[in-house]
Structure 1
Amino acid sequence: MEQPVAYEVSVQGERVSGRAVMRGSASYEMASGEIARVRDFVREFLASAQTAHGWDMSARAMDVAQLVASELATNVCKYAPGPCLVDLECDGTTLDIVMWDSGPILPAASAADPNRIGRHGLELVLMVCQSFEVRREPVGKSLRVQIALPDSPDNNPSGQTTW
């Protein structure tokens, strides 16, 4: 049975840098099809941010944001089924994705193994995000990642990345 998604997007004040901040939240039960809904939420949020603020977001950043959200949601489905909360925050230069689930086990990237089939999602996330943080919560855990949105004139991601 598909659960309704709580979706809220709002523009919140100004950051110290003087830039507007857009935030969105959604909740999921992480049943079949929810991974695609998380990915759609991220895509729609970024499209709304572009339209509302005229922020420059490369196609690369849109794709990377959806990939990261999909990989994080897949991990929730596999290892912490149940409720999941997704919070997005964008200031036009970065997108923060925070995903909370009720699972107590903290994720860890697997050691490199060219013969391993699957279980590469967290490795991909670590490669394409500017930052990655895991926090144990009173119930479960939260993962926070940050993705650079605009590209430099030579089509490379702006800001410091691990790749």
Structure 2
Amino acid sequence: MPPLRPIPTSGAAGSLEQVIALDGGSGCISEARDAARRFLSEARDEHRMNVPDVTVENAQLVVSELVTNLIKYAPGPGLLQLRIDDSGVQVEVWDSGPAQPLVHGTDPHRVGQHGLEIVTLLTESLTVHSTTVGKRIVATLALPDA
């Protein structure tokens, strides 16, 4: 069974959405990154949404960093939800880990733990919401005006 499984969802009018189950294994990082690329390419090519290549690349990096954190710090499986509308791209990662992520300040001498620092640089916003079991991390990337 592949580590990612698309779950059909319906977004609000003018939006597209996809939810992907993550098994928590290391292979799901590249699978999640590929899913983000396919999702945004389809939004651009089939639904004529204004999604520049740089947004696709940035979204892939955001997905990679957030899913890596899920694997490193949260036990068990999780979910990746991708949503796009005219205002932006939302990347949501749900996991069962109760610990809130920390965004460390810039430190060129620190080895590792730069993931959320990178995510905050690439996104318009990054929020963390506690849930009954774990948390939901939401990163929003802006899209250029049509």
CA deviation vs aligned residue, 1:4-52 (integer Å, no higher than 9, x gap): 53313455342xxxxx111110001121211001101111111111122
CA deviation vs aligned residue, 1:123-163 (integer Å, no higher than 9, x gap): 010111011110110000010011013379xxxxxxxxxxx
Cα drift, residue 76 of structure 1: 0.7
The number of equivalent residue pairs is: 146
- Structure 1 letter corresponding to 2:36: V
Output the aligned Cα RMSD: 1.8
**Structure 1 alignment gaps of length 5 or more:** 15-19, 153-163
- State whether structure 2 residue 86 is matched by structure 1 residue 87: no
- State whether structure 2 residue 124 is matched by structure 1 residue 130: yes
The TM-score with structure 1 as length reference comes to: 0.82
**Structure 2 alignment gaps of length 5 or more:** none
Cα drift, residue 68 of structure 1: 0.3
Matches of residues 36-55 of structure 1 in structure 2 within 5 Å?
36-55=30-49
- State whether structure 2 residue 26 is matched by structure 1 residue 6: no
- Structure 1 letter corresponding to 2:34: D
The answer to whether the 8 A contact 1:102-1:140 is kept is yes
Give distance in 1, aligned partners of 2:47 and 2:90: 17
- State whether structure 2 residue 119 is matched by structure 1 residue 120: no
Give distance in 2, aligned partners of 1:127 and 1:13: 28
Give distance in 2, aligned partners of 1:10 and 1:78: 28
Partner SS, residue 136 of structure 1: strand
The TM-score with structure 2 as length reference comes to: 0.91
Give 1:107's aligned residue: 101
> Judging changes above 3 Å, is the alpha-carbon distance between structure 1 residues 12 and 32 closer, same or farther for their aligned structure 2 residues?
closer
Task: Tell which structure's C-alpha radius of gyration is larger.
Answer: 1
Partner SS, residue 7 of structure 1: strand
Give distance in 1, aligned partners of 2:113 and 2:11: 37
